[in-house]
A and B are shown apart, each in its own frame.
Chain A
Amino acid sequence: MMAFLNSISWVAVAFHTLAAVVVISALLVVLVRNIVHAVLWLAVCFIALAGVFLTLDADFIALVQILVYAGAVCIMVVFGIMLIRRGNMGESNQFNRQVFAGGGVAVLVTLLSGVLSFRIRYAGSPPDVPENTVDQIATLLLSKYVIPFEVAALLLLVALVGAIFLAKEVKADADS
């Protein structure tokens, strides 16, 4: 029993469990008929993904994932849905007429990506990842990648201004 337990790679267990959660919740995001439910499943999916990121030794990204996606993005989408609310939420997440064609293309893309991913060759066992990833990312971001970092900051600012401008209430007499 102990031998069996010792032979289990707990990382593998975690991965497979999380992967199952990710796939199922993602499918539910697409398939449920209520858009609010879909957003809730999206949050589940993002949290499970954060777990997957942890198995990849990316603890900082996992944290950011929960903060930005599960927190900010999902809340923002819910706010968006609120603003464009309609009478019956039950039928708010329907398919359009190209569901089979779209499904076919999606399956084909998935299969192709899967097949192609097996072509990748790499050194068998993963090398050890340094302990303190946050420090190193921070150092890199503020030294080697400082310009993309600043550009990203600028992008966020522009997106902020743009979103405000677009979503702003249009005054009735604006045209006249």
Chain B
Amino acid sequence: MLTLSVSLHHYLILAAVLFGIGLFGVLTKRNAVAVLICVELMLNAININLLAFNKYITPGDFIGQIFAIFVITVAAAEVGVGLAIIIAIYRNKLSVNLDEFDWLKW
């Protein structure tokens, strides 16, 4: 019989899968905005972990939740600055294609 239950491991697997998808996007997308979006996915995967640990391991003291709030704060700031950088680069290069950005090369 199919029993539906939920445990810490379910959340961790979900977080792992979401992190993997985000990582895949970060490594393979050509568009800088898409990469930024995928970074958000990865950060959210982390948030799932934090909240799950908070619930299952340290329910009383809210460390995980507070940490998640800070992660969200930083992520918001990151998106703002990241988009600003992308726009600045676009203004100079008329492109957001990361394959064309290889100035770090020798």
Are A and B a genuine interacting pair, yes or no? yes
Residues of A within 8 A of B (CB): 7-9, 11-13, 15-16, 19, 22-23, 26-27, 29-30, 35, 38-39, 42, 45-46, 49, 52-53, 55-58, 60-61, 64-65, 68-69, 72-73, 76-77, 79-81, 83-84, 92-99, 101-103, 105-107, 109-110, 113-114, 117-118, 120, 122, 126-130, 133, 136-137, 140-141, 145, 148, 152, 155-156, 158-160, 162-167, 170
- Which residue from chain B places its CB closest to the CB of A136 in the assembled complex? B62
Q: Is the interface of A mostly helix, strand, loop or mixed?
A: helix
Interface pair B16/A152, CB less than 8 Å apart: no
A166 CB to closest chain B CB (Å) equals 4
A44 CB to closest chain B CB (Å) equals 12
Interface pair B62/A137, CB less than 8 Å apart: yes
B103 at the interface (CB under 8 A from A): no
Complex partner residue of A140 from B34, B44, B66, CB under 8 angstroms = B66
Interface pair B51/A19, CB less than 8 Å apart: no
Chain B residues with CB below 8 A from A53, complex form = 47-48, 51
Chain B residues with CB below 8 A from A113, complex form = 12, 15-16, 19-20
A22 vs B102: C-alpha distance in the bound complex, in angstroms? 34
Chain A residues with CB below 8 A from B37, complex form = 29, 38-39, 42, 77
In the complex where A22-B14, A110-B19, A113-B16 touch, is A126 in contact with B56 (Cβ < 8 A)? yes
Complex partner residue of B27 from A46, A64, A102, CB under 8 angstroms = A102
Interface pair A77/B25, CB less than 8 Å apart: no
A16 vs B4: C-alpha distance in the bound complex, in angstroms? 9
Q: List the 3 shortest-distance A-B pairs measured between CB atoms, nearest first.
A: A110-B20, A102-B27, A159-B77
Interface pair B5/A9, CB less than 8 Å apart: yes
Chain A residues with CB below 8 A from B52, complex form = 56
- Which residue from chain B places its CB closest to the CB of A112 in the assembled complex? B16
A53 vs B64: C-alpha distance in the bound complex, in angstroms? 12
Interface pair B5/A118, CB less than 8 Å apart: no
Chain B residues with CB below 8 A from A11, complex form = 6
Complex partner residue of B21 from A27, A61, A167, CB under 8 angstroms = A27
Interface pair A166/B85, CB less than 8 Å apart: yes
B12 CB to closest chain A CB (Å) equals 4
Interface pair B99/A96, CB less than 8 Å apart: yes
Of A101, A106, A127, A130, the most chain B CB neighbours within 10 A belong to: A106
- Which residue from chain A places its CB closest to the CB of B24 in the assembled complex? A106
Interface pair A84/B14, CB less than 8 Å apart: no
Tell me the residues in window 38-84 of chain B with beta carbons closer than 8 Å to chain A beta carbons.
38, 40-41, 44, 47-48, 51-52, 54-57, 59-60, 62, 65-66, 68-70, 72-81, 83-84
A145 vs B33: C-alpha distance in the bound complex, in angstroms? 33
